[in-house]
Amino acid sequence: MMNQSNHILPEGPSTLPLLPGLRDRNLILASASPRRKQLLSLLGIPFEVRPIGLDEVYPDDLTGPSIPRFLSEMKAKAAAKTMGTKDIVITSDTVVQLNGETLEKPKTPEEAMQMIMKLSGKTHQVVTAFSIVDGASPHSIQTDHDKVDVSFEHLSREFALHYIENHNPFDKAGGYGAQDLIGACAIHSLNGSHYTVMGLPMHKIFRTLQCID
């Protein structure tokens, strides 16, 4: 079920001339993430934010990129039930994976501390999947994903505690955001798209939107 929407009117040059299939269409971001809203605004195209209220539960046998792909498609199928023929909906999901373990959003400060210290001094993978549904053919869902290797410096518990107390780790996969203090002070290497780590692989989304007639 989609929650109440709000309209975003980005400033700056519009990429609509490069995305002719979006003329006279309604672009919708089905996510409450402020980071995804910020990234989609880079296109300079008006869009709506309509978060989907779903429990992000997936089958136990899923691993790797299959997890965010499943969750993104689940959101897309829910969005398709209420979208109009002129709507184009983007859904997404991000997970952090370390040595086969999937780190989702921490629920408590203790969980956030455990996650951050697990990532300390190691290289992990951030996988973001996205789905795009064209209201003209709502049963056709296009899903793709992007994976990025992210390497952390060795972090002290004092640093992790400061981060947890002064930043919000609870709405971020793995308990951290690449756009804030950890990104500035802890990430020493990032192999892939920074935008993918933030929550939307914009290069792949742009390519997919270009294919819409």
Nearest to 92 by CA among 148, 30, 40: 30
**Any catalytic annotation for residue 93?**
yes
For 9, phi then psi, to 5°, come to -115, 90
Token pair listed for 171: 């709405």
Cα torsion 169, 170, 173, 179: sign: negative
Of 24, 55, 93, 149, catalytic: 93
**What distance, in Å, lies between the first and last C-alpha atoms of the chain?**
27
Yes or no: say if 30 and 90 are a contact pair by the CB < 8 Å rule. yes
Yes or no: say if 187 and 150 are a contact pair by the CB < 8 Å rule. yes
Yes or no: say if 209 and 49 are a contact pair by the CB < 8 Å rule. no
Yes or no: say if 163 and 170 are a contact pair by the CB < 8 Å rule. no
Indicate which residues carry an active-site annotation: 93
